[in-house]
């Protein structure tokens, strides 16, 4: 059986989600609606998580997400490992983010696109397969960033830069020591010699 599509919206995207939901009904596309279910204010990061988790778990084929601009909910969605969310308001992007990026979440702005265009973008997104080929390696590199750019990796980088700083400090210390030997030490020796000379001179007198 065909996997359902996961729907998620905040209050800014609620009306558009409802329009797209009606369109999915007309097309006979199954979906799970994770809300919101009214115009009452909710936070878009909270609304991104349940539908995106359903996609990552493999329960839903992809997510259709809605907020005022589509931008905030796409930012939140892209924080989840395994989600490749694209905020679109044009047909070319909606098509090519499937062909080239294998996007699994389409984000639309309820205050940006009207219901007619939104439904066209949804159709393009749902009906366009991933092209694979040379794009598969690039998508794999996106997934690899989820590991290599994690907090742990940054901490390792920080450690390395701290080691560099210590080594630079040692080098500065060595340079300062060398300068001291080349300037202050000869002066001090000359001064001591001078004192001895004066002392000897006075004693002879």
Contact residues toward ligand RB5 (CB under 6 A) are 10, 12, 44, 67-69, 71-72
Selected catalytic residue, list 67, 86, 107, 119: 67
Asked whether the beta carbons of 121 and 88 are under 8 A apart, the reply is yes
Asked whether the beta carbons of 38 and 80 are under 8 A apart, the reply is no
Active site residue 100: yes
The minimum distance between CB 113 and ligand RB5, in angstroms, equals 12
Q: What is the residue whose two structure tokens read 């960033």?
A: 145
The minimum distance between CB 172 and ligand RB5, in angstroms, equals 48
CB-nearer residue toward ligand RB5: 66 or 125: 66
The minimum distance between CB 67 and ligand RB5, in angstroms, equals 3
| Alpha-carbon span 56 to 68, nearest angstrom | 24
Contacts of 98 (CB under 8 A, 6+ apart): 124, 125, 128, 129, 130
CB-nearer residue toward ligand RB5: 4 or 35: 35
The minimum distance between CB 71 and ligand RB5, in angstroms, equals 5
Supply 82's token pair.
Answer: 């395994």
Active site residue 67: yes
CA–CA distance from 10 to each of 24, 54, 107, 115, 182 (Å)?
19, 17, 12, 16, 71
Residue number of the CB closest to ligand RB5 reads 72
CB-nearer residue toward ligand RB5: 69 or 93: 69
Supply 128's token pair.
Answer: 């366009």
CB-nearer residue toward ligand RB5: 29 or 72: 72
Catalytic residues: 67, 100
């Amino acid at each position: 059986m065909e996997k359902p599509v996961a729907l998620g919206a905040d209050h800014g995207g609620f009306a558009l989600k409802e329009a797209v939901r009606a369109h999915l009904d007309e097309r006979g596309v199954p979906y799970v609606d994770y809300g919101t279910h009214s115009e009452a204010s909710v936070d878009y990061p909270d609304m991104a998580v349940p539908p995106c988790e359903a996609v990552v778990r493999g329960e839903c084929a992809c997510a259709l997400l809605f907020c005022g601009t589509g931008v905030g909910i796409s930012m939140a969605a892209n924080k989840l490992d395994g989600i490749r969310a694209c905020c679109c308001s044009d047909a070319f992007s909606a098509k090519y983010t499937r062909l080239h990026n294998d996007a699994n979440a389409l984000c639309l702005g309820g205050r940006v696109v009207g219901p007619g265009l939104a439904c066209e973008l949804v159709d393009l997104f749902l009906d366009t397969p991933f092209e694979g080929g040379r794009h598969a390696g690039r998508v794999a590199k996106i997934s690899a960033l989820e590991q290599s750019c994690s907090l742990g990796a940054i901490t390792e980088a920080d450690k390395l830069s701290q080691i560099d700083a210590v080594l630079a400090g040692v080098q500065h210390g060595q340079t300062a020591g060398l300068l001291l030997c080349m300037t202050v030490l000869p002066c001090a020796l000359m001064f001591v010699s001078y004192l001895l000379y004066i002392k000897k001179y006075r004693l002879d007198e």
